[in-house]
Structure 1
Amino acid sequence: MTDRQLDEIHLTDVADFQLSDLLVRPSALEILNTDKQVFSVEPRCMKVLVALHQRSGDVVSRDELLQRCWQGRIVSDGAINRCIGQLRKLISPHPGLSIDTIAKIGYRLQNSDLAAFSLSSESHWPSFRMLVLGSLLLVVVSVILYGGWFNYGAQWSTNQVTPLTAKQGVETQPALSPDGRQLAFVTRGENGSWDIHLQELNGVAARVLIDGKADDIYPVWRNDGRKLLFNRVEDERCTLMMLDLLTQRQHKVTECEPGGYGRATFVGNSEQVIVSRSQAHDDRRRLYLIDWIKATESVLTTPPAGSHGDLDPVLSPDGSKLLFRRTPSAGVNDLMVADLANGQLQDLQQLTFDGWKAHGAAWAADGHSIFFSSSRGGDWGLWAIDSTGGSPYRLNWGTTPITQIATNTRGELVAEMWQARRHLYWLDQDTPQQTITAETWSPDIDTHGRIAFVSMASGSPQVWLMNDRGLRQLTHRQASFVHGPVWSNDSGLLAFVAVTQRQAQLFLLSALDGEPVQLTQVTGDKANPQFLPDDDGLVFLARSEQQGWQLATADVQSGLVTGYPELGNDWLALRAGPAGIFAKRRQSPVFWQLKWHEGQLTTAPTLITTHGNRPWVVIEQGIATIESDGIWQLKTNGERVQLDTTRLSKGVADLAFDPSRQRLLIMDGDEDESHIALIGLDRP
């Protein structure tokens, strides 16, 4: 065995391989069966499978697994046993595959189909060769008949990356003009609002295209380059606007979705647009076809009950197909494509099934391939898939996360390169308690002053801990999204939501050095878990199969979930703290207080009101929240006390309350950096 064989396994360097009737894709953390079902595998467990496979049936010692899969760190026997157990569960239904335990030594991967395949391949070589030659001939004829299409079905790759913007701060939501000469993007203006800028790609400095007191976001070009669509957000209201670039006149098209913005799209060079929004009684987002001149609209999609709906529609270059993202639950995005004909969608097809997030998607110029940014590789990268289906494959292996993307009919692609930076401040201090150079969210503080939060610092969403000794990663799960970590009242448990294999479930972590335990087994999205006063249960938001969000509880011992549909299905947010458990309802300024008594949950409105859905947290005597003129304490008796007027300039992203020292933690995101680059594409 060479020294190289004992090197750490880097999954991005491992080629796909076959095990019996399974296709293993290490770089994508996926195993596919013959029915095109996709099974996600945790990174550590995938490394173990690769290590076993690379030894071709030989025994692999536990020490070798630790060196190659855990970087030589000392971990418990349970960590290796857990991975072996997961792998056995995945491969056991498939013929000829097994993992043997060699007592006190290690493990061996048995693939009895391997020898049979070699013999059958040799004995049937003549017929196999004729089959290959016939297939090649058929491909050649097909290419000729198709009109000389070059390398149809070959994989795209990236080449040169050319920065287009470099201003300090956030430059986001790129939109490349059809002729490739101009880039529209969004950045903060001098007055603090988000403005649309226009960058000439011949070296001329960017200029403000649309500015004002409102936030103008998500620009989209019409195919002829004469008009732009964009969202205008002001006082929590969203309006879809159209700008005529020749006359500079702006027109209102329709109302758009408050609080959940996204791109709209033109239908060719017409006055029709496709926009995503929800209905007053149902927060599932649907796609609508709107003719703003004729003042008509029609519904294009009806997403399944219990989902978050559809957003970010993008038409193919010839206008015949519509691509959009469907969100079954937070942290899961499915790419969907359908034919658009006579104002209706036909032959709707789901392209991705594996439950990862897709932040943005766009068509290639050929109208066959689709590019999208996704976290499926453990970090945010650029991926591609054929519009007729198949397996996604990754295009880039850079270290900078790629989030939103856009293309044009010339075959050019622009991408947003994002670098997040979060500062944690105490309200009365100007020096950060901690700075984290990664996207970070959902802080919560226990009675000992320990701060739990979710961060992408390790490349994927994980729960982290901050205390007097510094930072420590608590979880190492493979999940497309993690959110809502919350401490129990006695600080002995930590609960959170993790989305794995397309399902959001509640997890509990009792020993901070142990493995999280899955608490719930029920389907449907979940959010904002909070411990009940006696710590023997959790109250959380559960998305019903019918519509909206309901209140639910889960027993900490059994995981039994109880829903409370009689309390309504329009809940928006839920928090607990020293003053009790509070909740907000959709499209209502009133806060409600939750009471738990003898196994029953009741709600009652309070005197606390605030508009919008800005960050808030429960503190002593009420809540603390962000408003337009600062941070305020809103007491249960209706009294309002202003706590801070300067922190808003730092871009508050979240709040947490320290119950032991009665102080407020502020997580800001003012120093995020994102720039836009042109990514060259090759197709072999």
Structure 2
Amino acid sequence: MTASTKKRAITATDFQNIKVLSEPQFISEDRYSYVTTFVNEDKEYESQVYVHNLIDDSHKQWTSGSHRNHTFCVSPNKEKAFFLSNRSGASQIWLTDMGGGEAKQVTTFPNGAFSPVWSEDGKSILFCSYLEKDDDISALKELNKEEKKAKQKEAQTKPLVVDRLRYKSDARGFHDNSKVQIIQYDLTSGTFHQLTDKEADHHLVDVAPDNKTLIFAANLEEDADSSLVSDLYLLELQSKEIIKLTDSKGSYHGASFSTDSKKIVAYGHGFEYAGATLTKLFIYDVESKERMLLSRDWSIQPGDTMVGDTRLGSSEAGPVWSEDNESIYFVGSDNGTVSLYETDLEGNLKIRYSDNNHLFGFSYNPDTKSFILGISLPTDPCNFYKLSADGTLEQLTDVNKTFISEIALSSPEEITFTSSDGLEIQGWLLRPYGFQEGKKYPFVLEIHGGPHAMYGQTFFHELQLLAAKGYVVLYTNPRGSHGYGQEFVNGVRENYGKGDYHDLMEAVDYCLEQYSFIDENRLGVTGGSYGGFMTNWIVGHTNRFKAAVTQRSISNWLSFYGVSDIGFFFTKWEHGVNLMEDPTELWDISPLKYAENVETPLLILHGEKDYRCPIEQGEQLFITLKHLNKEVEFIRFPNANHELSRSGNPTLRVARLDNICRWFEKYL
């Protein structure tokens, strides 16, 4: 077997040639809206809203300008639509007539607006914004460029006073005193009404079809600063009365009212296995507040846990009610795929759509009982399809047709093997560009982050790039990954560097036994976050790899406890102890302890604004290895957080990929 090389190999910059689709939303039986995100000529992300007419197959662009325009939603009477745009600076709500015309800016809040939802009568928009305690929402105005610069300059001359445990996060950076509050905008009067005001973050989830109540998620407990609880609350819009739905013993989200407003479906769990707990699906009776568990016998993970590097923009993952309130639709992760599921109110589960691919979002039309599905394939980044009530699947877009016609992409070959302690491990192997039988090729093992995430059947630019550079690429789901049931995903907890390490090494052994074209003397390894931890661990425990690249990694669990935005709870969750309880245990599973054993040339990549795995983790490892005269290099990415590889600055993303390829080329 010899692979064709008529098409060119993919390059590090090619993610900039990909159009990323998201947010399919039915407008009518024959029309749906969606968002396209891409890297523009200024090397910045741009998102535009389109409407696809299925009758004449026309695509009308609804937004313009070099901005991020998204979250398009048509009013219940189909006359107006709102969308979010950062064209004024911050992400604000804009209103447009469906008949055409210029969009009108609705919000001008300094911190922008997010999570907008229409009221069922179409007379108001409910949304969230970060507000200070004494903010007068009728007087808030967005800062202009000069005012923003002045505020930033002033902040640089003031010390940051920290008096709480959660004072930073990878998404927001250092926190101020603002909290997420829910606001209602009246379209008739043009006035705003603040619906919540407690010193807590209130996240709007859904508004009841009868316009009487809304659901929000919050932690209103006294110990909220150190607690991970996320409760669901009902807010009576007329009386402003708040009613608690859940028991402050778990984390709940994604709630949705039934069409008759009598029931609520929600995702959540009670931390039974800490962060490795499978998400469950619950039904709440609005009147009695009684709760019923639907997912008691399910082994799938509700929601999308697929790992990738080209998904920009969010999409509906459910739960969504059927028109008769007898069924609920949602996406679920299972065995390296993400599929569309349906359950009745007794928890009887069935698959509505599944294939060897990644269903990244959907929209349901109750009139036709059909779906718009967003699907990614390993050899096609994304497209929309229509799933009819009878199960017929019709492709609606071919948005990256030109790109795919020019690029040679490697189709993954699935592998499965049984680990030494009896677990079935799934993975995929990519053959290199221009593969020729009888030739030996270098090999790269990729390790995903999480650890509670999942590799699978989706487009992954970095993996394809390594294959294009001439490497056999292996990516697997070792214990701790989602998609294989509760026991499997929990298998890594208090087991780091043990069972997971053996799963990965045995996956490499399996490939060496099965594929004679792999050069066992030219093995490389790389991974990010937890995958970075495992890369560090591997090179401290074996010298079989001739090159390694560790990305946004963890090297020292003792310091991670205090420097990461999640360290104070994640360390306990994953290892069973925190720094104060057993520093010896944490040191024993820290890759830094084994630095003297490292013989593999190691490249360390880290973002300077990474608050999830802070850059000091990379610094400690680099200084230690350099002091020990090991072969090591350290690359720091300015203003980059934990999301560098997925949604970071496009120029820095290219530099990151170029350096990974350079390191492997040098040593493999």
Q: What TM-score do you get using the length of structure 2 for normalisation?
A: 0.45
Q: Which has the higher helix share?
A: 2
Q: Which has the larger radius of gyration?
A: 1
Q: What TM-score do you get using the length of structure 1 for normalisation?
A: 0.44
Q: Which has the higher strand share?
A: 1
